[in-house]
Chains A and B, each alone.
Chain A
């Protein structure tokens, strides 16, 4: 089987960092902040690597759309096991629609049998790029995947839905978006980090791909949510129940 798997990965503020709203109210501070691969993309990449290891895929290509520094994310992806990488370079903060339009160009160039991507990026939490890409390509989609089985040119995907698990069967090529419990991504070993330096990384200019990157959304402002204040510590259960009844009036 010669199917190529394409995995889009996004460089985002590390999930262990508490984001700080920038003083100008235009966004969140990213200067001097630790950046990492979007955790859902890591899961999608792990799944792609496992598909190759099981013989369902011939190669794994990672693509990141972002600034020059996103090549670090691509090197990490190759250290985990991706075979080659494409950086679509832009300093603009692109919306999911523009990202999907760029990915469509990459898909048409690389001709993968599957796009495996995270269900959402933990910065803008939009949860849309995979679905938009599938629509643009006219491909079927299986979102929020918790299990993927490939057979006979199809993917049987278990999906996390409200109140349970739904199973769908989609014809390949398709877009699958990864949810949390799909797998536990591996760590890159030191020898693999060294090897990843020699793997091919191609750089393209986002502006050169013939895609309209104009934002549809204008950021009016970004603000801190109202903070909750710490309340009181009570000593006994009876005191708690009393306060819930008389003070908070929720019982």
Chain B
């Protein structure tokens, strides 16, 4: 059994979720990794990696040529794995289509080489499924697996070219919202605001100082994003980012079903809400009923 893991980097560093995917794939046997764009130096240092395949001519990771290249490599492997990300969700199911296999997405537990657990119905149920496909194509949730070490390995790097000439899809541009804060998926602490925060200015004024003190990521409920208080990449929940921090502080958000599905694996949940009947209190380890406009400044002082 040999697995190929599609890894991603951020400013040259291999993403933690990708390191988690390597550790998940290690259960199947040897692991090769494939990296598109960037430089392969850090990938070569990863623990548990047999070989790095470095694709230099596809920096923007368009799904069509990326999946086509992966399909040419796939028959050498029993499992093709990636951490859940916008790119892997785009590419791996297309690869599965090319290979005529049924992909498994969002896997949270690996039972054995062919049996996997994945959430369905926004995490309201867990399905254990056994795949009969010759090649298993899966995305795994980074927060469900411990990452391999970023250093210590010394894998050889092989350079590959993606097939050229694909002209039906073109990258135009990407606009990132820059931030010095940790990513939501890997942050140890997250503070999230809901509609109760009332406007974008309050997100800055009330949530940011606390996030600064705790080195926390800032999240938002779907209602807050839809109301324009926060950009959509901050959305936490089944339809946004699924998170599992040590500490999740929910501020002025009631706890809609799909939001709770996205935070339920947090170790400790704190809820601050003026409505004592808000569903968020049913899942929170600690709650304070009260006005967030009084509580947040007090919390900032107390930290």
Interface residues of A (CB under 8 A from B): 13, 15, 18-19, 21, 28, 95-97, 100, 122-136, 139-144, 146, 156, 159-171, 174, 180-181, 215-225, 228, 230-238, 240-241, 243-244, 248, 250-251
Contacts and interface: CB of A to CB of B under 8 A. Distances in A.
B64 interface: yes
B90 interface: yes
B63 A131 contact: yes
Given A18-B124, A234-B286, A168 B62 contact: yes
A141 B64 CA distance: 8
A228 B282 CA distance: 8
SS of B interface (majority): mixed
Contacts of B124: 18-19, 28, 224-225
Contacts of B121: 13, 19, 28, 122-123, 125
A123 B63 CA distance: 25
Most buried by A among B121, B127, B169: B121
B252 to A, nearest CB: 15
Contacts of A166: 60, 86, 171, 173-175
Nearest to A225: B126
B93 A96 contact: yes
Interface in B114-136: 115, 118-133
Contacts of B222: 180
Contact of A127 (B98, B105, B128, B257): B105
13 contacts: A15-B258, A125-B118, A127-B105, A131-B91, A135-B98, A162-B85, A163-B177, A164-B233, A165-B174, A217-B104, A217-B130, A217-B132, A231-B286
A217 B122 CA distance: 20
B270 A240 contact: yes
Most buried by B among A142, A146, A180, A231: A231
B97 A230 contact: no
Interface stretch (B18-26, B50-58, B199-207, B295-303): B295-303
Interface string B181-198: 001000001000000000
B43 interface: no
Contact of A141 (B90, B176, B189, B267): B90
Given A97-B100, A165-B175, A251-B303, A231 B93 contact: no
Which 7 pairs from chain A and chain B are nearest by CB?
A135-B97, A132-B97, A131-B93, A231-B285, A128-B93, A216-B102, A161-B86
Nearest to B173: A167
Given A122-B121, A181-B232, 8 more contacts: A132-B97, A215-B102, A218-B129, A222-B120, A224-B124, A236-B288, A244-B268, A250-B247
Contacts of B60: 166
B287 interface: yes
Nearest to A134: B94
Interface size class of B (residues with CB under 8 A): 35 or more
B169 A168 contact: yes
Contacts of A136: 97
B96 A128 contact: yes
B94 A135 contact: yes
B86 A160 contact: yes
B170 A168 contact: yes
B168 A170 contact: yes
B75 interface: no
B289 interface: yes
B125 A225 contact: yes
B105 A126 contact: yes
B251 to A, nearest CB: 12
A250 B267 contact: yes
A9 B189 CA distance: 39
Given A222-B125, A250-B246, A241 B303 contact: yes
B154 to A, nearest CB: 29
Given A217-B104, A231-B286, A234-B287, A167 B174 contact: yes
A188 to B, nearest CB: 22
Contacts of B85: 162
